[in-house]
Amino acid sequence: MGELNVVGKNVERVDIRAKVTGRAVYAADMDMPGMLHGKIIRCLEYAHAKVKSLDFSEAEKMPGVVKCLGPDDVTSKTYNQSVIDLMASEQEAEWMGDIEEQNIFTKHVKFYGDGIGAIIAESEEQAERAAAKVKVEYEPLPVYLTPEQSSAPDAVQFVPEKPGNRAFQLPAEMFPNNCLGWGDVDEAFKEADLIVEDRFYTPKQKQCQMEPNNYIALYDDEGRLNCWASCQMPKLAHVKLARLFEMPMSRVKFNQTVVGGGFGARLGLVMEPEVCALALAVPGRPVKIQQPREEDWLSSPSRHPSDYWMKMGFKKDGTPVAIDAISKNFKGGYYLDGSALASTTGFWLQGMYKVENLRYRGESYFTNQPVCGAYRGYGNPQTNFVLEQIVERGCKELNIDPLEWRKKWHKTVGDNSWIGFTQYSSCALDECLEKGAEAIGWKDKRAKYENQTGVKRRGIGLSVGQHTSGAAPMILEHTTCTVRLNEDASAELLLACSDLGQGSHTTLRQIAAESLGFPIEDVHLNVGDSDANGFDIGAHASRTLYVGGNAVKQACEDAKRQLFERAAKKLEANVEDLDMNLDKEIFVKGSPSKSITAKDICEVGIYNFTNPMTGEANGEAGQIQSYVSYMPDHNSPPFFCTFVEVEVDMETGEVKLLELVSAHDIGRAIHPAICEGQMEGGAQQGLGMALTEEMYFDENGKVKNNSFTDYKMLGASDMPKMTNILVENPDPHGPFGAKSVGEAGLVTPVGAVANAIYQATGIQFTEGPITPEKILKAIKEKEVAA
């Protein structure tokens, strides 16, 4: 690869001026003439109930009310708010058992906060006041908060298709005996010198993106349904809305507004169906829904909590002989991506270590909790919390250095990847481990912190992981990109790739500029408009840079090739002998005076005239355009590790985060500061999952902590000193060698901090989050036992 001009540089983010000045326009900031306001009526009395009657008579009389809508006033068509079902073949979806069982407004309330109706009024305040006047009669049903409860033989069935309320188990058609893995686990355990086994609980963590969910929809005079929302997957939302409302896609327009964070919460649809249903009820008038923060915990998907059992066998020398695991996921009230999550949780397990025998069973059960869906890491943090603690205990009992063990046993180039049947194409985990260990002073600290006494005890822990770059070949991968060169040789790219804040519009623009050979200012991305943009899956599976980047690169390289072919004709030279400088002059290598500007070529292509005397055109006709419909045939997972140092107060149970070092094998950093930003932000969420973050419920299923005071996230002064190391080892398939970084940052802090606490206290915590209360309790129990 030659010298790079834009890739690898910390260029100014394309969106950053608008964001620091407050001028970026989020959905809540939009106003439209004649706009009405919608308020969703949520069941806040019960977590499980039948709606016996819904009485709007008082509400209708309230000032400003335009319409009241219940379940029978909107389409009765059911849907699945997740989009995973769109990404699997019909056959696969059937095997996986994906269902569409959601209603826009429900008569069977399945969680605290389920939507049962809506008010449309002239102002937001009027809509809220009217909503308070709606009279609802419920028939309460028993509340199930765990898979054990909901799978009991006499439990009320959530949907007829899923007997026993088991939403999912790995299908036998694809996974013999409903298991993922290889070898003979039961036989192998007989050969083991040491078996480590435990049952874990991983918490219901909420994404807590800072922008609440806000929407506008308008059923316009042309008969088109328009929706404005900060959805992560605008194109798939477009398809889903068209199907739900039985309209051709050409009559639905999806506008993606600036996304104030996603992390999976906006992976599929959230309240797009509701706002569109409201708009269809009042043709010609835009309707806006602004969600109060306290409802965000109720109405958008969270991480799946899981009951996760694992057993691992080792030989005396540390050789891992077998891993057996069962993860039972709490689904919440609806199915969503019940199939995919329970599967990937096992994929991350099979992708990590060289173990001869492995068996994983993944299941999901309905529960009366707000829905669970995608959250950054998609099962990987759960597996990290469990697997990395099991490994740690094995190493401790066998007296093996956990760093050396991981170096020896992690999978690498040529090994079967998490996908099972494809191989890793690059892996620089050893370099990550060496650099990380050096940066935090692993060796000395690890030795120093063994067997401490006293009130304040320190510990250092480590965790490794691997993630994904896109969803191929498991499920659909596809991005289209159109590049047009304007008459002045500036470039316009049309694509539907999302930027949730992770910076992809900046990094994709860098890739475009580099591939075209143009200055970055001359490249514009036209995004967020379903009329103009082609197909793209949207932001999930850490795919945007890897898949979108390759789509952009191919389209731009093709546009540049066309430009060079036209130049070659003009200059009477071979394409291979041409080069272009940053002033966009194309010249013959070695004789720079033989040159033509890109602008001259582009302009003539558009303003193409025929000489009336000679009949000759003034150059090659036609605007230079390129279009690719890119479906990757590869996936290049990144590898990474995190080291964390903590200090535990044995009297209060408090954990102080002293230092965190992460090192990621990202292939190539297209924009180093953006890569670091993913790792830093990921650390805040991963440490939070391990230490403080969990949605919890009373016995009636009421969410008890849907506020930032009660749902504790780490603040600026809770964060440890951080060092984030980018290890660049270009991957043969990634754009300019890049692999993903988006989700990965969250994963390994989870296991690393648990292992640090283990070293400090000598106690392993199987239940997340590891709060001071749990630590104190465990310390007391240990003292009593001793």
Partner 1 sequence: MNKLSVNLRVNGRGYDLEVASNKTLLEVLRDQLNLPDTKYGCGTGECGACTVLIDGEVVNSCLTLAAAADGREIRTAVGLEKNGQLHPVQQAFIEETAVQCGYCIPGMVVKSVGLLEKNPDPSEEEIRHWLEGNICRCTGYEKIVDAVKSASKKMASAEVKAVG
Site string for partner 1, 77-116 (x = CB under 8 A): ----------------------------------------
Give the DSSP per-residue string, 577-617: GEEE-TT-EEEETTEEEEEEEHHHHHHHHHS--B-TTT--B
Separation of alpha carbons 41 and 521, rounded Å: 47
743 included as an active-site residue = yes
For position 12 contacting partner 1 by CB under 8 A, the verdict is yes
Number of residues that bind partner 1 (CB under 8 A): 58
Contact of 542 with 488, CB cutoff 8 Å: no
- CA atoms in the 13 A half-sphere facing the CB of 657: 28
| Residue 728, token pair as written in the block | 């660049």
Q: In angstroms, what is the minimal distance from the CB of 471 to ligand FES?
A: 25
Site string for ligand FES, 199-228 (x = CB under 6 A): -----------x------------------
Instruction: Closer to partner 1 by CB, 125 or 531: give it.
Output: 125
Restricted to residues 630-649, the positions that interact with ligand FES (CB under 6 A) are: none
Closest CA to 341 of 84, 163, 693, 78: 84
Instruction: Closer to ligand FES by CB, 210 or 613: give it.
Output: 210
Instruction: Closer to ligand FES by CB, 210 or 785: give it.
Output: 210
Separation of alpha carbons 352 and 467, rounded Å: 9
Number of residues that bind ligand FES (CB under 6 A): 3
Tell me how far CA of residue 332 lies from CA of 107, 376, 619, in angstroms: 17, 18, 64
For position 740 contacting partner 1 by CB under 8 A, the verdict is no
As a three-state string, the secondary structure of 351-389 is CCECCCEEEEEEEEEECCCCCECCCCCCCHHHHHHHHHH
Give the DSSP per-residue string, 650-673: TTT--EEEEEEEEEEE-S--SSHH
For position 683 contacting partner 1 by CB under 8 A, the verdict is yes
Closest CA to 271 of 287, 253, 250, 247: 287
Separation of alpha carbons 163 and 179, rounded Å: 20
Instruction: Closer to partner 1 by CB, 16 or 532: give it.
Output: 16
Separation of alpha carbons 408 and 318, rounded Å: 10
Q: What's the first-to-final CA gap in the chain, in angstroms? A: 63
For position 25 contacting partner 1 by CB under 8 A, the verdict is yes
- Single out the catalytic residue among 676, 743, 781, 783: 743
Q: In angstroms, what is the minimal distance from the CB of 681 to ligand FES?
A: 8
With a CB cutoff of 8 Å and minimum separation 6, the contacts of 614 are: none
The secondary structure of residue 344, as a DSSP letter, is: H
**Positive or negative torsion for Cα 593, 514, 622, 490:** negative
| Residue 614, token pair as written in the block | 């000679």
Contact of 684 with 718, CB cutoff 8 Å: no
Q: In angstroms, what is the minimal distance from the CB of 19 to partner 1?
A: 3
Q: In angstroms, what is the minimal distance from the CB of 304 to ligand FES?
A: 23
Q: In angstroms, what is the minimal distance from the CB of 337 to ligand FES?
A: 24
Instruction: Closer to partner 1 by CB, 162 or 505: give it.
Output: 505
Give the DSSP per-residue string, 237-277: HHHHHHHHTT--GGGEEEEEPPP---TTTTSS-SSHHHHHH
Give the DSSP per-residue string, 273-341: HHHHHHHHHSTTS-EEEE--HHHHHHHS-BPPPEEEEEEEEE-TT--EEEEEEEEEEEEESS-TTHHHH
List the one residue from 383, 685, 740, 761 that touches partner 1 (CB under 8 A): 685
**Positive or negative torsion for Cα 75, 80, 83, 89:** negative
Instruction: Closer to partner 1 by CB, 292 or 732: give it.
Output: 292
List the one residue from 6, 7, 13, 275 that touches partner 1 (CB under 8 A): 13
For position 680 contacting partner 1 by CB under 8 A, the verdict is yes
Residue 365, beta-bridge partner list: 166, 330
Residue with tokens 């049952």: 199
List the one residue from 709, 773, 785, 786 that touches partner 1 (CB under 8 A): 709
Instruction: Closer to ligand FES by CB, 210 or 786: give it.
Output: 210
| Residue 377, token pair as written in the block | 């890491």
Instruction: Closer to partner 1 by CB, 273 or 681: give it.
Output: 681
For position 460 contacting partner 1 by CB under 8 A, the verdict is no
Restricted to residues 8-37, the positions that interact with ligand FES (CB under 6 A) are: none
For position 677 contacting partner 1 by CB under 8 A, the verdict is yes
Separation of alpha carbons 74 and 275, rounded Å: 11
List the one residue from 28, 481, 547, 552 that touches partner 1 (CB under 8 A): 28
Q: In angstroms, what is the minimal distance from the CB of 504 to partner 1?
A: 11
Instruction: Closer to ligand FES by CB, 293 or 448: give it.
Output: 293
Restricted to residues 500-559, the positions that interact with partner 1 (CB under 8 A) are: 500-503
Instruction: Closer to partner 1 by CB, 151 or 662: give it.
Output: 662
| Rg of the chain on CA atoms, in Å | 28
Q: In angstroms, what is the minimal distance from the CB of 709 to ligand FES?
A: 11
717: partner contacted, choices partner 1, ligand FES, none (Cβ within 5-8 A by kind): partner 1
For position 501 contacting ligand FES by CB under 6 A, the verdict is yes
For position 263 contacting partner 1 by CB under 8 A, the verdict is yes
Give the DSSP per-residue string, 16-73: HHHHHHT----GGG---TT-EEEEEEE--S-SSEEEEEEE-HHHHTSTTEEEEE-GGG
1: partner contacted, choices ligand FES, partner 1, none (Cβ within 5-8 A by kind): none
Q: In angstroms, what is the minimal distance from the CB of 683 to ligand FES?
A: 14
Separation of alpha carbons 209 and 718, rounded Å: 19
For position 680 contacting ligand FES by CB under 6 A, the verdict is no
Burial of 224 (0-12, 13-18, 19+ CB in 10 A): middle
For position 141 contacting partner 1 by CB under 8 A, the verdict is no
For position 16 contacting partner 1 by CB under 8 A, the verdict is yes
Q: In angstroms, what is the minimal distance from the CB of 137 to partner 1?
A: 30
Q: Which helix (H) or strand (E) holds 392?
A: helix 380-398
Q: What are phi and psi of 755, to 5 degrees?
A: -70, -30
Instruction: Closer to partner 1 by CB, 428 or 675: give it.
Output: 675
Instruction: Closer to ligand FES by CB, 382 or 498: give it.
Output: 498
For position 735 contacting partner 1 by CB under 8 A, the verdict is no
Restricted to residues 162-221, the positions that interact with partner 1 (CB under 8 A) are: 207-212
Q: In angstroms, what is the minimal distance from the CB of 390 to ligand FES?
A: 34
For position 719 contacting ligand FES by CB under 6 A, the verdict is no
- Which span sits near partner 1 by CB under 8 A: 417-425, 465-473, 668-676, 729-737? 668-676
Residue 394 CA to its chain's centroid (Å): 32
List the one residue from 71, 171, 183, 261 that touches partner 1 (CB under 8 A): 261
Restricted to residues 229-268, the positions that interact with ligand FES (CB under 6 A) are: 261
141: partner contacted, choices ligand FES, partner 1, none (Cβ within 5-8 A by kind): none
Q: In angstroms, what is the minimal distance from the CB of 260 to ligand FES?
A: 6
Instruction: Closer to ligand FES by CB, 198 or 680: give it.
Output: 680
341: partner contacted, choices ligand FES, partner 1, none (Cβ within 5-8 A by kind): none
For position 785 contacting partner 1 by CB under 8 A, the verdict is no
For position 681 contacting partner 1 by CB under 8 A, the verdict is yes
> Can you give the binding site for ligand FES, defined by CB under 6 A?
210, 261, 501
Question: Active-site residues: which are they?
Answer: 743
> Can you give the binding site for partner 1, defined by CB under 8 A?
10, 12-13, 15-26, 28-29, 31, 207-212, 258-263, 290, 292-293, 500-503, 671, 673-674, 676-677, 679-685, 707-709, 713, 715-717, 719, 722
